[in-house]
Amino acid sequence: MVSESDAAADTSALALKILVAGGFGVGKTTLVGRRHSSARSGTEELLSEAGQSVDDTDGVDRKVTTTVAMDFGRITIRSGLSLYLFGTPGQDRFWFLWDELSQGALGAVVLADTRRLEDCFPAVDYFEHRRIPFVVAVNCFPGARGYGAHDVSRALDLDHGTPVVLCDARERDSGKEVLIRLVEYAGRMHTARLLDSVS
């Protein structure tokens, strides 16, 4: 039986929707699920010969699975605050899902791999054109040349103030820091827009 205090806590809890986007093989599934979520659902399938002509695996030769549809994870930041993460599919043929997934999102994380930086251009363009706040999280793969946040920002021609953070999607604390940065940035952006609309 649910007590009145439990029911009140459930109704006062804040759940924020966040998208995780980026190119094929950049680490979206890892960020959404591996050790960050208290609940996770995914649709990973083995790469097949049928997909060889449409899935560009250059630079991610060791990748053997792909996400079909989306990943989903829930992270409890603290009592009363949860993040619902939706990992968008990286392949062009699944882009029709993006508009549905972006409905009601507070913001997005665009994961980037400096070895294939051009793969995150479509995600950056998508969120900029729809005025959805986002941060770029550079997933620092072992052996990849290191670049500073300013260099990545210039290479992507980001709008002034768009945060760029370096991370390791495999590490719990690193992924959590990326999400906190996004929530803070998106909160400032939404507040500024609200103030502009009433002034």
Lowest-pLDDT range, 15-24, 84-93, 99-108? 84-93
Q: What is the pLDDT of residue 61?
A: 54
Q: How far apart are CA 164 and CA 127, in angstroms?
A: 15
Q: How far apart are CA 6 and CA 3, in angstroms?
A: 5
Whether the CB-CB separation of 139 and 51 falls below 8 Å is answered with no
How many other CB atoms sit within 10 Å of the CB of residue 7? 10
Residue 171 CA, chain-centre distance (Å), reads: 15
Percentage of the chain lying above the pLDDT 70 cut: 72
Q: How far apart are CA 81 and CA 59, in angstroms?
A: 37
Q: What is the pLDDT of residue 19?
A: 96
pLDDT tens per residue, range 111-164 = 999 999 999 999 999 999 999 999 999 999 988 888 999 999 999 999 999 999
Question: What is the average pLDDT value for the chain, to the nearest integer?
Answer: 81
Q: What is the pLDDT of residue 114?
A: 93
CA nearest to 140, candidates 106, 160, 168, 111: 168
Q: What is the pLDDT of residue 91?
A: 63
Please tell me which residue, 65 or 113, carries the higher pLDDT value.
113
pLDDT tens per residue, range 89-107 = 766 666 777 888 899 999 9
Look at residue 39 and tell me whether its pLDDT is greater than 70. Answer: no
Per-residue pLDDT band for 7 (boundaries 50, 70, 90) equals very low
Please tell me which residue, 12 or 121, carries the higher pLDDT value.
121
DSSP secondary structure of 60-126? -TT--EEESS-EEEEEEEETTEEEEEEEPP-SGGGGGGHHHHHTT-SEEEEEE-GGGGGGGHHHHHH
Look at residue 2 and tell me whether its pLDDT is greater than 50. Answer: no
Q: How many CA atoms lie within 13 A of 116 on its CB side?
A: 20
Residues 6 or more apart whose CB falls under 8 angstroms from that of 132 comprise: 19, 102, 105, 107, 108, 126
Q: What is the pLDDT of residue 191?
A: 94
